[in-house]
Amino acid sequence: MTKKENFLKGLIKENPIFVFLLGMCPALAVTSTFETALGMGILVIFVLTGSNFVVSLVRKYIPHEIRTPSYIVIIATFVTIVEMITEAYTYDLYIALGIFIPLIVVNCLILGRAESFASKNKVIDSVIDGIGMALGFTIALITIGVLRELLATGTIQYGVYLPFFVEEPISLIKLFPKKFGLTMFSLPPGAFIALGIILAISQFRKVRNAEKKAKEKKAFIEQKKKEALERKRQAKMQKAGDNK
Amino acid sequence: MSLTVFFTAIVSAMLINNVILMQFLGICPFLGVSKKSKSAIGMSGAVLFVMVIASFVTYTLYDLVLYEYNIPYISTIAFILVIASLVQFVEMVMKRYSQSLYKSLGIYLPLITTNCAILGVSEANITAIWGESVPYLDGVFQAVSTSIGTGLGFGLVIFAFSSIREKLEANNVPKAWKGVPVSLVVAGIMSLAFFGLTGII
């Protein structure tokens, strides 16, 4: 696997949320708006890259029996750092994400990458893998967040929780006025339904591709069968001709 | 320490702020072990058991050690370590003293360390109850009541959901919706139903 493949695999092909269903709690809980989803994604990028780096660095010194507790301590250290930074610089985001910042520790995605990739690979590969996987996670969160915020309010706001690059909140996209929005999608029931719709779309693509492949395979086999039959018949005719 | 506090905490944690449908904690076991209602019951029993012990231990740890020695910022690391070793400890005790309990709950115990409901309830207890600066005994009582309610709510929802899923298996669902997508929509409808309970206290 080249470095580029290693980086790109997390984005679509092995997307942690849409394909492996890892880290579903934040995917449902913090995606009521685009901005909280983006904020959570940035935190996860930092934590996953850092933890993959350190786990890969010390992978030869950790005894096999106590590896899981050691990984958890490493991850928890990074989460604590992130929590303090968020509280200091973006307090609104800290309040909005609330309990889900410390809960990054038990996100299956991060422990899963430490266990299945970083503990077996070199430092640089592990860092690339961490960035790629976390970017895939962020993309998935943003997809859900954009869908939910658009359906609920009709606009995509930026600058409420992440006050960077803008003086005051601006709306990035404006589809329809707020009074036509489906408020349900900003509430918990909407989270389940929105994620269900997105997963159904991705499953639809998978099913269609599989059907297409099966059809092609079937056609190919038919073709081969026909050719073999044809050959058999010709041989038979030739044999009959020789006998004469 | 009164019965009113106990029942208020239980009802509000079990029905109003349901741990799965309202707070989105413990979604992994909710989707993972809810294919059969038998395994759902086993999982929720194990979660209730560990959750009560964990919230008692973490609350005590925070109040009597971390705050006392002025290191509350280390709470996440301390809590996850305590929970992980607690799960291991419970597993060992169970194996030694109660084989039947171990057989029914044992296989779910290792999964609980990374169940965010346990750590989530411990952290929420600190912000919600400890933040009110109540005396230690009252606080612990409230934390344990909340965790009992949360565990019961977890069991209630995961059992109902697994029963629905067993019925869904037999139905003819479109291929694209089969499996997790349709389950998520079912969960959304259940969450809508729980929204109706919002004002009962």
Rg (CA), chain A: 26
First to last CA, chain B: 19
The model's pLDDT over A104-146, given as tens digits with 9 standing for 90+, comes to 988 888 988 888 889 888 999 999 999 999 999 999 999 999 9
What is the tally of structural domains in chain B?
1
The model's pLDDT over B140-161, given as tens digits with 9 standing for 90+, comes to 999 999 999 999 999 999 999 9
Question: Does the residue B97 lie in any domain?
Answer: yes
Question: Do A176 and A193 fall into the same domain?
Answer: no
Q: Which of B21, B26, B32 is nearest to B47 (CA)?
A: B26
Question: Does the residue B159 lie in any domain?
Answer: yes
Domain range spanning residue A227?
Answer: 187-244
- Which residues have C-beta within 8 Å of that of residue A68, sequence separation ≥ 6? A111, A115, B84, B113
Question: Does the residue B200 lie in any domain?
Answer: no
Q: Which of A105, A87, A91 is nearest to A51 (CA)?
A: A105
Domain end residue (candidates: A139, A159, A183) = A183
Evaluate whether B80 touches A107 at the Cβ level (below 8 Å): no
Q: Which of A69, A192, A204 sits opposite B184 (nearest CB)?
A: A192
Encoded amino acid at A66, one letter: I
Question: Do A112 and A51 fall into the same domain?
Answer: yes
Question: Do A152 and A207 fall into the same domain?
Answer: no
Mutation target vs B (from A25, A66, A95; most B CBs, 10 A cutoff): A25
Domain end residue (candidates: A162, A183, A204) = A183
Place of tokens 């036509």: A180
This prediction's pTM: 0.87
Mutation target vs A (from B55, B116, B157, B173; most A CBs, 10 A cutoff): B116
CA distances for B73 relative to A40, B65, B190, angstroms: 20, 12, 37
Question: Do A20 and A134 fall into the same domain?
Answer: yes
Evaluate whether A22 touches A10 at the Cβ level (below 8 Å): no
Question: Do A100 and A191 fall into the same domain?
Answer: no
Rg (CA), chain B: 18
Domain range spanning residue B12?
Answer: 3-195
Domain end residue (candidates: A132, A156, A183) = A183
State the ipTM, two decimals.
Answer: 0.87
First to last CA, chain A: 62
Q: Chain B 7-36, CB below 8 Å of chain A: which residues?
A: 21-28, 31
What is the tally of structural domains in chain A?
2
Q: Which residues of chain A have pLDDT under 50?
A: none
The model's pLDDT over B42-65, given as tens digits with 9 standing for 90+, comes to 888 888 988 999 999 999 999 888
Structure tokens at B146: 């909340």
What number of other Cβ atoms are within 10 A of residue B85's Cβ? 13
